[in-house]
Amino acid sequence: MKSKPLASTPWLDLEMSRWRDPETQRRGISQRQLGMYEGLSQAQLSEVLTEGHKPKADMLDSLAKVFQVHPLILYYVAYELHTIDVDALDRLTRFGRAIYPLPEQVVLRFLDDLTPQAEAVLVAANYQKQPCTEV
pLDDT, tens digit (0-9, with 9 covering 90-100), for 9-53:
478 888 888 888 888 888 998 888 888 877 888 888 878 777 777
CB 79 within 8 A of CB 11: no
> What CATH number does the domain containing 41 carry?
1.10.260
**Within a domain: residue 85?**
yes
Residue 29 lies in a domain: yes
The Cα angle at residue 72 between residues 48 and 74, in degrees rounded to 5? 25
User: How confident is the model over 56-80, as a mean pLDDT?
Assistant: 89
71 is a domain residue: yes
Is a pLDDT exceeding 70 seen at residue 79? yes
Q: Which of 84, 60, 95, 66 is nearest to 11 (CA)?
A: 84
3-state secondary structure of 15: helix
Contact 31, 46 (CB under 8 A): yes
Does the residue 130 lie in any domain? no
Query: Is 53 part of a structural domain of the chain?
Result: yes
Task: Report pLDDT digits (tens) over 96-126.
Answer: 999 999 999 999 999 999 999 989 988 888 8
pLDDT reported for residue 6:
53
- pLDDT score, position 130: 58
> Which has more confidence, 130 or 116?
116
Q: What angle do CA 84, 86, 91 make, to 5 degrees?
A: 115
Count the domains in the chain. Answer: 1
